[in-house]
């Protein structure tokens, strides 16, 4: 684990707090949904252990304005520097550990947020103005638990909503009202004075049945929604007030004490009011999504620029921005679309604490946040006195913003805002509890200079667009990461080539250089006391001082990286100035180093906004983005950009390469590459392999799925009975024919060519449809459609010798599909036919409501046609009835369905869901437009292709084997871990014996025991056999001096017990001068190899035939080859033996061959 230099003095409690908060962040997901208070006590417990300040910088951050969070401004650069020193990104041992740096920062931010909130509240009560800068200077003070409680309670249970709608909360079991907003009576037309004839029981009060407040049809819709498992998938529910008849969007969600109903008034002229209008909003979003998907890859800026234009066109806001969170959690506006007269914000950077961690987490739960009018007075929520605490409003669309938020928005000239979360896939380390990791990449933020309300269907369409944007962005980020990795590998290859031709200084003096490996302002090599600088670097005297500091304070590390030399503790940081703020260093040897340097961050940051106007004066009480940006520059002027994970990985890889290079330079200049020959031993398992091969051939020949194979030239060399039956071409006739030229239709030739090219290159494709020709007089005009998986065929040496195609016949489904698309004949009779060739089929009308649900689909899903017809396919059918895996799956299905309705067909889309009984179903979805007789699109047909029972069984067996293998590996890892403990005890006992008076023989015995222990520890580290077998070429070898006698004694001792059990004798004929001979190399690995060969000779000494996998021999052969050695198996008339040849250098002498 990589250690943090600033946390060297962490206490025991703080170490355990890291684990606590890792679990806490995962726990929040449940807590915020149900509205519990456990998260408050959890944060309080953490804060009670860590009461330290946090850098909380100036806000009027556009993203913070939209989220309802508040910020602050601090122009005291000294104070900022001191605070930020606590969260420096200084790390050693070349490995990032994010949780350790994130958790204290999150705790600090809660503390600062609570402190500022309390000061603001106090200023309002006293009538004094809120002195922002003064408040910031006191945020480093400790905060009482009561203030933390008040702050978190205000975020989640503020007790107020925005006045553009009203809210009612009900008990889920009885539908009785348990809370309502003060404006609910007026909005629903329930005030007694306005309706004199209104009966008393119908007045909105605590305990009334909520169904009596709405029309009968609306009550039925509410009851139906209350019974849904995923209630949010049905939003919005369109209902009418019983008394006034006014329509409302009802947006429902569950909390800990019941169900919250947010009621947003719907104008009768609102085009989004009807289902068709809601679908039209989604169509607009799908059009925007199609535009995103059509963009050329590799340009994230273009993707962000396009999404802000699309959102502005959809919503009509004056300004739309993409706000990105960087790795150190600070934010930046990276894209913007605005009214021409507004000042640009693009390029603005804001401190990480401008948007609190609590607000960021809320965005993961409630991904769209709208503030209609920041000047409007909030409405109080009245609730049942029997409730233990204020109502949780985390999931409410009406939740009121914080009191200070309106003040900040007014300073920016913004009255309304809309903020939408951009969620992407996180890394594996962030995944907890079996759930896939999701990361808040940033926000899309909208501002408007006047009050603005966007109807819920349009907001839902925007959320749909954000989900698609997140998917597209995730692919672009992965592509960018792959391109960066390729660039790094290419640069490393060139640098290695230089090392082979020139001295190590070539990686600095020639092009490309080490500066091309990662983004930096300068780099340097310190080799054998000489200094080779490049770019912006310290002077030679300064670099020598840095080297001495590294050896004194970080001598046990393999490297170090920091974005602030001052915060890392380097005494001479002030003399380096702003030119050298950040540094990454890799230790090549104990006295040789590689350096990369970065200048201060402010040099990298530019803002396209206007300059300060002379009369536009910002002070501590009036905030503006310009002041926040200026404060951010003050904070980062003595810091560089942080070193990213990929950059540190590249540096570490080069470090390993250089270590080998330097080691090779000190050793022999040339070494022969010897190929080990173990022919006889490799034949040991051939009979068993032949038996398996024969069984595989039988299974392929008799399989009910079409299977065929080709050689490297694309000619048929395998053709099973099923494919012969389908095509009418016998095995003898098919053998030797060209798959591309002779057996597939012209439209499939290019597809098959591509499949062959990929598979022969080791890349296997799945679920590809090809069209095979048929032969014979009755089949001459027919075709066979097969969906195939192309697999590389390999020989026993792992060389690719051909391609095998495993297919599924979909001809029947294809014919039916064509008839559907062209409306040929009575398609309803085809749809509902019980014929097993008819695939599962369902259809959608123009509004994405289910219009067909055939018998095969009923059987597949478990849901009857009557239960599904007329329901929304997205959300109700697939979402509530048939659950999908995560929001991404629902988004992708929605895109496919809308594309088909828009005329864009989708073929073989992977589609998975849970049926009515909870069984997981995997299928391929084909969606085609559905047209009437006039050619007008009236919906979409969807066809599901399910894997054959044989293939499903094969996949099931594969998953079981993988699970079993994983379980075995876990057991093996556990056993190895348990072995370490008694080994430690043995080592300790031996150390005690070494301190006593021993004879020479006893000392020799202890030395042999210690050598065996070291060997065993190395073997335990190689517990992952697969990774060891694949990674032998990169295996790190030690180069230490040892006596050959010690190795021989250790090797012999490992077989003595087995020899005694079998009454066998081991004869050692080794001259004394060999025993006392010193050599250099990896003693433990040499012992491992020799002991394994000797053990195999002992185990298989008899003349009978014994079958074993030979894994140990294979591994030892590879390890020996890695050490430039070879082994030969010699069979003579009277004896057989292993001959091991290994060259080992002698200390300060030439190498010598030891046999």
Give binding residues as ranges: 404
- CA dist 58 and 629 (Å) reads 8
Burial class from Cβ neighbours inside 10 Å (0-12, 13-18, 19+) for residue 466 reads buried
Query: Burial of 776 by CB count in 10 Å (0-12 exposed, 13-18 middle, 19+ buried)?
Result: exposed
Strand order in the sheet with 319-325: 349-350, 331-338, 319-325, 438-448, 416-425, 368-371
Q: Are 242 and 212 in contact (CB under 8 A)?
A: yes
Dihedral sign (CA 87, 88, 92, 98) = positive
Residue 597: Cβ within 10 Å count: 27
Spatial separation of the C-alpha atoms in residues 789 and 776, rounded to whole Å: 27
Please count the CA atoms within 13 angstroms of the CA of 966 that sit on its side-chain side.
Answer: 6
| CB-based contacts of 639, cutoff 8 Å, min separation 6 | 84, 563, 564, 567, 581, 582, 600, 601
Q: What is the DSSP code (8-state) at residue 400?
A: P
- HSE of 578, CA atoms in CB hemisphere, 13 A: 11
How many angstroms separate the Cα of 1006 from the Cα of each of 453, 1003, 1020, 1071, 1079?
82, 5, 21, 22, 20
Got the DSSP string for 1102-1122? SSS------HHHHHHHHHHHH
CA distance 362 to 356: 10
**Four-residue CA torsion sign, 865, 871, 873, 879:** negative
Asked if the peptide bond before residue 101 counts as cis, ω within 30 degrees of 0, the response is: no
CA 626, distance to chain mean position in Å, is 35
Binding residues for phytochromobilin: 404
First-to-last alpha carbon distance for the chain, in angstroms, is 41
Whole-angstrom distance, CA of residue 692 vs CA of residue 845: 53
CA–CA gap between residue 113 and residue 196 (Å, rounded): 49
Nearest to 631 by CA among 662, 605, 666: 605
| CA gap 1155, 1141 in Å, rounded | 5
CA 43/CA 628 separation, integer angstroms: 28
Strands of the sheet with 716-719, listed across from one edge: 716-719, 707-711, 800-809, 783-794, 768-773
Long-range Cβ contact pairs of 1063-1070 (< 8 A, separation 24 or more): 1064/1098, 1064/1101, 1070/1045
3 state DSSP class of 202:
helix
Nearest residue to 354 via CA among 394, 326, 382: 326
Cβ atoms of 1128 and 677 closer than 8 Å: yes
Cβ atoms 1127, 1120 nearer than 8 A: yes
Query: Which strands form 160-161's sheet, in the order they lie side by side?
Result: 160-161, 379-383, 177-181, 166-170, 258-265, 247-255, 237-240
Q: Greatest CA separation found in the chain?
A: 118
Separation of alpha carbons 898 and 939, rounded Å: 9
Q: Is the dihedral of CA 408, 414, 420, 422 positive or negative?
A: negative
Q: What is the CA radius of gyration of the chain?
A: 36
Query: Cα separation of 747 and 762, whole Å?
Result: 25
Q: How far apart are CA 342 and CA 352, in angstroms?
A: 25
């Amino acid at each position: 684990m990589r250690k943090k230099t600033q946390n060297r003095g962490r206490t025991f409690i703080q170490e355990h707090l890291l684990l606590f908060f890792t679990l806490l962040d995962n726990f929040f997901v449940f807590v915020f949904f149900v509205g519990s208070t456990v998260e408050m006590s959890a944060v309080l417990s953490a804060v009670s252990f860590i009461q330290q300040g946090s850098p909380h910088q100036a806000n009027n951050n556009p993203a913070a304005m939209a989220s309802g969070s508040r910020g602050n401004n601090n122009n005291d650069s000294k104070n900022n520097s001191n605070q930020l020193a606590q969260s420096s990104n200084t790390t050693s041992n070349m490995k990032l550990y994010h949780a350790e740096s994130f958790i204290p920062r999150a705790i600090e931010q809660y503390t600062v947020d609570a402190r500022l909130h309390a000061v603001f509240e106090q200023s309002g009560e006293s009538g004094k103005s809120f002195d922002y800068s003064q408040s910031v200077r006191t945020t480093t003070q400790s905060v009482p638990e009561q203030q933390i409680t008040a702050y978190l309670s205000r975020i989640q249970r503020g007790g107020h909503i925005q006045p553009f709608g009203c809210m009612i909360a009900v008990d889920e079991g009885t539908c009785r009202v348990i809370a309502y907003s003060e404006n609910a009576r007026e909005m629903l037309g329930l005030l007694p004075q306005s309706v004199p004839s209104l009966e008393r029981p119908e007045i909105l009060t605590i305990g009334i049945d909520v169904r009596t407040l709405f029309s009968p049809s609306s009550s039925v819709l509410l009851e139906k929604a209350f019974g849904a498992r995923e209630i949010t998938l049905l939003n919005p529910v369109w209902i009418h007030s019983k008394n006034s008849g006014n329509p409302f969007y009802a947006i429902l969600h569950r909390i800990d004490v019941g169900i919250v109903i947010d009621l947003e008034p719907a104008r009768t002229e609102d085009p989004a009011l009807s289902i068709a209008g809601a679908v039209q909003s989604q169509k607009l979003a799908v059009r925007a999504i199609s535009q995103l998907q059509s963009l050329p890859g590799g340009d994230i800026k273009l993707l962000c620029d396009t999404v802000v234009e699309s959102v502005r066109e959809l919503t009509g806001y004056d300004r739309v921005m993409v706000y990105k969170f960087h790795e150190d959690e600070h934010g930046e506006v990276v894209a913007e679309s605005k009214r021409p007269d507004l000042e640009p914000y693009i390029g603005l950077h804001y401190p990480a604490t401008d948007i609190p961690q609590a607000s960021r987490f809320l965005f993961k739960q409630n991904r769209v946040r709208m503030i209609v009018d920041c000047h409007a007075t909030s409405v109080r929520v009245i609730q049942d006195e029997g409730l233990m605490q204020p109502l949780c409003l985390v999931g409410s669309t009406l939740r009121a913003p914080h009191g200070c938020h309106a003040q900040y928005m007014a300073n920016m000239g913004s009255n309304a805002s809309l903020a939408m979360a951009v969620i992407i896939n996180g890394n594996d380390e962030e995944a907890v509890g079996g759930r896939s990791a999701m990361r808040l990449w940033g926000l899309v933020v909208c501002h408007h200079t006047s009050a603005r309300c966007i109807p819920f269907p349009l907001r839902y369409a925007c959320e749909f667009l954000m989900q698609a944007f997140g998917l597209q962005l995730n692919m672009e980020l992965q592509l960018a990461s792959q391109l960066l990795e390729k660039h790094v590998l290419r640069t490393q290859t060139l640098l290695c080539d230089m090392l082979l031709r020139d001295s190590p200084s070539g990686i600095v003096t020639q092009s490309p250089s080490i500066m091309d490996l990662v983004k930096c302002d300068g780099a340097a090599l310190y080799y054998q006391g000489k200094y080779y600088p490049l770019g912006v670097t310290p002077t030679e005297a300064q670099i020598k001082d840095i080297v001495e500091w590294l050896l004194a304070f970080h001598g046990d590390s393999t490297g170090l990286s920091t974005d602030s030399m001052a915060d890392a503790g380097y005494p001479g940081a002030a003399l380096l100035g702003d030119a050298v703020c950040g540094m990454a260093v890799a230790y090549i040897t104990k006295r040789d180093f590689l350096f990369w340097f970065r200048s201060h961050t402010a040099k990298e940051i530019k803002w396209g906004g206007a300059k300060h106007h002379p009369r536009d004066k910002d002070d501590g009480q009036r905030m503006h983005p310009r002041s926040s940006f200026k404060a951010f520059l003050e904070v980062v002027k003595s810091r560089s950009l942080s070193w990213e994970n990929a950059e540190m990985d590249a540096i570490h890889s080069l470090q390993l390469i250089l270590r080998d290079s330097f080691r090779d330079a000190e050793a022999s200049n040339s070494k022969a590459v010897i190929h080990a020959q173990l022919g006889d031993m490799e034949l040991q398992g051939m009979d068993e392999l032949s038996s398996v091969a024969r069984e595989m051939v039988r299974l392929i020949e008799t399989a009910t799925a079409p299977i065929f194979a080709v050689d490297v030239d694309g000619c048929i060399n395998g053709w099973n009975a099923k494919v012969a039956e389908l095509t009418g071409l016998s095995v003898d006739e098919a053998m030797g024919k060209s798959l591309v030229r002779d057996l597939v239709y012209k439209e499939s030739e290019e597809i098959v060519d591509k499949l062959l090219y990929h598979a022969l290159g080791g890349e296997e494709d799945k679920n590809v449809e090809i069209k095979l020709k048929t032969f014979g007089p009755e089949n001459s005009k027919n075709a066979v459609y097969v969906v195939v998986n192309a697999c590389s065929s390999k020989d026993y040496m792992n060389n690719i010798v051909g391609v095998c195609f495993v297919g599924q016949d979909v001809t029947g489904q294809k014919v039916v599909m064509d008839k559907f698309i062209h409306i040929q004949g009575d398609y309803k009779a085809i749809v509902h036919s019980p014929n097993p060739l008819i695939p599962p089929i369902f259809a959608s009308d123009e509004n994405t409501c289910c219009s067909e649900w055939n018998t095969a689909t009923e059987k597949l899903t478990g849901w009857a046609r009557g239960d599904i017809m007329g329901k929304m396919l997205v959300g109700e059918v697939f979402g509530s009835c048939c659950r999908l895996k995560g929001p991404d799956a629902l988004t992708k299905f929605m895109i496919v369905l809308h594309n088909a309705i828009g005329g864009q067909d989708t073929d073989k889309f992977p589609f998975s869901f849970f049926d009515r009984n909870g069984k997981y179903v995997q299928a391929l979805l084909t969606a085609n437009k559905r047209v009437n007789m006039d050619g007008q699109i009236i919906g979409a047909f969807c066809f599901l292709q399910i894997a054959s029972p044989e293939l499903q069984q094969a996949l099931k067996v594969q998953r079981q084997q993988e699970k079993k293998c994983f379980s075995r590996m876990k057991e093996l890892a556990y056993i190895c871990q348990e072995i370490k403990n008694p080994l430690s005890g043995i080592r300790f006992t031996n150390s005690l014996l070494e301190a006593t008076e021993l004879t020479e023989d006893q000392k020799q015995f202890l030395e042999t025991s210690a050598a065996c222990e070291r060997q065993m520890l190395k073997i335990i580290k190689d517990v992952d056999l697969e990774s060891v077998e694949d990674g032998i070429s990169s295996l790190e070898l030690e180069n230490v001096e040892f006596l050959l006698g010690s190795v021989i004694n250790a090797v012999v001792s490992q077989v003595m017990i087995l020899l005694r059990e079998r009454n066998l004798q081991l004869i050692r004929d080794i001259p004394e001068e060999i025993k006392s001979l010193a050599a250099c190399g990896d003693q433990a690995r040499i012992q491992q190899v020799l002991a394994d060969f000797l053990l195999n000779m002992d185990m298989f000494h008899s003349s009978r035939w014994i079958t074993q996998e030979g894994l140990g021999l294979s591994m030892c052969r590879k390890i020996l080859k890695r050490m430039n050695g070879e082994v030969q198996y010699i069979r003579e008339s009277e004896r057989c033996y292993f001959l091991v040849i290994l060259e080992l250098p002698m200390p300060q002498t030439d190498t010598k061959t030891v046999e």
